[in-house]
Structure formats: C-alpha cells, structure tokens
C-alpha cells in the first residue's frame, strides 16, 4: 500500500514528493539533522539490517541454515542473482553511455523481498524466509562492494578498517555466548558510522 501510494504521489505530484523528502528535521545540537532520505538510508535501514543480521545469525547457528551445505545454497543463488542481471544489463547497453550503470541491477532489496513474501505467502515455512533473507543480504553485500570499489571516487581506508575490525570482533563474542544479541548491539552497530 505504501509503495503504491508513493509511486502515485511521485508520478502525479512529483514536486511535492521531492519536497517532502528534502525536508530536514532532527536535532541540530546533536548533529542529527538530516533530510528524509538520509533518515531512511542512514538510520532506519541500519536498524533493519541489524534485525536481519540477528535473524540470519539464529538461522546459521540453530535454524534452517545451520548445515554448511544448506548455507551455501543462498550464497550461490545470491552470486547468480548479482552476476546475471549485471551481464544482461551490459549486453543490452553495450556501446552506449548507459553501460556505466551495470552495477545498479545487481542489488536485491531485502525490505521488498521480505514484504512481498509476507504478503503472498504469510504462512511460508521459516526456512524459506531464512533462505530469502540470506540471498537478499549476500546479494546486497556484493552490490555494496561493487559500488564502493567500482563507483566511489575514493575510500577512507582508516574508517573502512575500523568497520572491518568491529565486524570481525562480533562473531567470537556471540559464539562463546559471552553476551546476548542485544547486549552486543553497540559492537555490532559500530561499523555503521564507519562505512
């Protein structure tokens, strides 16, 4: 419903739609004043991917993807889901200025994927949801890497190293059951401002 409303709004009253997302709000004193797009991309999506990470961790340790062979299936599917659309895009746009956008069709939107699954199959097995989450997440990671190394003008290696160190630090803590998922939240979330 929200997606349909947004599409109608953007197509029939595009200026007001853009104006809505360009409106800044927040707390200036804390340096947290951003427009709507940045609140969604930098704040809400961070929480969304954190929750997805918790679900995937559960599935990889105790759930449908606990066996390495089962976990490998969504990884292979995600690689195919990233490479094939990029190859099709290159084949269609080869020799034109649009060819430089080959990285755009690589990403899968996990929010839409999970939402569509809940809509069309609300009683789908938990294993199917886990596989879909894994495919979408791995596919997104590949797309982010392509954007970072293929499209970015430059990388801040210090912040990238800090994010990698924070991400690597988290699995051993959870593997040893030293703290709960929510207690480890600061360490898990710390890569976000570094990326």
CA-CA distance, 60 to 57, in Å (whole number)? Answer: 5
| pTM score of the predicted model | 0.64
Task: Enter the tokens of residue 9.
Answer: 């709004």
Q: How far apart are CA 159 and CA 78, in angstroms?
A: 27
Give the separation between CA 109 and CA 52, rounded to whole angstroms: 12
Angle, helices 45-61/110-120, rounded to nearest 10 degrees: 70
Angular region, 136: left φ>0, alpha ψ -120 to 50, beta rest: alpha
Per-residue pLDDT of the chain (195 residues), as tens digits, is 788 898 899 998 888 999 999 989 888 888 788 999 889 888 888 888 888 888 888 888 888 788 888 888 888 988 988 899 999 999 999 999 888 888 888 877 777 777 788 787 778 787 788 888 888 888 878 887 887 787 777 777 787 788 777 766 655 444 444 445 444 555 555 454 444
Report yes or no: 37 and 20 within 8 Å, Cβ to Cβ: no
Closest CA to 110 of 125, 124, 88, 130: 130
| Residue boundaries of the structural domains of the chain | 38-153, 155-195
């Amino acid at each position: 419903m929200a997606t349909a409303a947004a599409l109608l709004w953007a197509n029939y009253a595009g200026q007001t739609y853009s104006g809505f997302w360009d409106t800044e709000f927040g707390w200036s004193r804390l340096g947290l004043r951003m427009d709507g797009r940045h609140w969604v991309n930098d704040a809400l999506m961070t929480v969304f991917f954190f929750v997805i990470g918790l679900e995937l961790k559960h599935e990889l340790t105790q759930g449908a993807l606990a066996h390495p062979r089962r976990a490998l299936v969504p990884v292979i599917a995600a690689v195919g889901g990233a490479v094939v659309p990029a190859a099709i895009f290159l084949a269609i746009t080869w020799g034109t200025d649009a060819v430089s956008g080959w990285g755009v069709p690589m990403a899968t939107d996990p929010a839409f994927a999970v939402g569509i699954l809940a809509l069309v199959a609300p009683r789908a097995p938990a294993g199917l949801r886990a596989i879909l989450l894994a495919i979408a997440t791995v596919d997104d990671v590949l797309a982010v890497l392509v954007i970072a190394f293929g499209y970015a003008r430059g990388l801040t290696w210090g912040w990238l190293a800090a994010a990698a160190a924070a991400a690597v630090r988290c699995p051993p803590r959870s593997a040893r059951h030293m703290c709960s998922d929510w207690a480890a939240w600061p360490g898990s979330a710390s890569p976000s401002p570094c990326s």
